[in-house]
A = this chain, B = another copy of it.
Amino acid sequence: MARDMKKHDDVHPAAWETLSRTEEAACRVFSVIRKRCRHPVKNLEADFYVLESADWVNAVAVTPDGRMILVEQFRYGTEALSLEVTGGVMDLGEDPIEAAERELSEETGFVGKRARLLGSVRPNPAIQSNQCHIVLIEGAERLGPTEWDENEELALYLPTVEEAYEMVYSGRITHALTLNALLLYMPVWKADRGAI
């Protein structure tokens, strides 16, 4: 599985050094940083803008009867509704699994029986420093009330997993990080189906 492919040329991209960091804007859930960077070999310096923030977590949560837990909410970036897995910003020092269980419970009232990390992705290596961790929560049932922030309104959807994948390819689900969660869950789901 973990074979790694050889390069097909002799280019070796260099790691630039960061000479200085200046905060350009503090935006609550992220900071905008201007970095002055230097290429270690070429005589070259440049400024790059990046966002620094805590890591994020997404929960692929499935019920005992094979439904996926999705929520739809208004998003201020796109100014539109967005259908997504549950998730959010991790608290300082929080473990990804704990964070995923907390977000699922707060957003939907569902609590799972088992949870494990499926993988971690980089939301945008060019301009973001952080990771998004993707956690699988199985055996999820509605055990409690939701605990939304003042600004949150979340509509709950419980498609079958198959229907969730149909919504990927019909363009109903477009959130990049939710699509990552579904990509990493795909082999687990297929293996489970094969076992039936």
Contacts and interface: CB of A to CB of B under 8 A. Distances in A.
Interface string A124-137: 11111100100000
A176 B8 CA distance: 24
A49 B125 CA distance: 20
A25 interface: yes
Interface in A173-194: 174-177, 179-180, 182-184, 187
A154 B12 CA distance: 8
A59 B57 CA distance: 27
10 contacts: A2-B170, A14-B74, A18-B79, A24-B32, A35-B76, A48-B76, A50-B76, A75-B126, A79-B129, A82-B125
B127 A30 contact: yes
Contacts of A124: 77, 123-124, 175-177
A129 to B, nearest CB: 5
A154 B126 CA distance: 14
A134 to B, nearest CB: 10
Copies of this protein chain in the complex: 2
Contact of A49 (B5, B8, B29): B29
A180 B121 CA distance: 11
A28 B28 CA distance: 21
A187 B186 CA distance: 13
Interface in A29-76: 29-30, 32, 34-35, 37, 39, 44, 46, 48-51, 72-76
Interface string A1-36: 111111111011111101000001101111010110
A175 B125 contact: yes
B122 A82 contact: yes
Contact of A7 (B50, B157, B172): B157
A155 B15 contact: no
A153 B11 contact: yes
A152 B183 CA distance: 29
A38 to B, nearest CB: 11
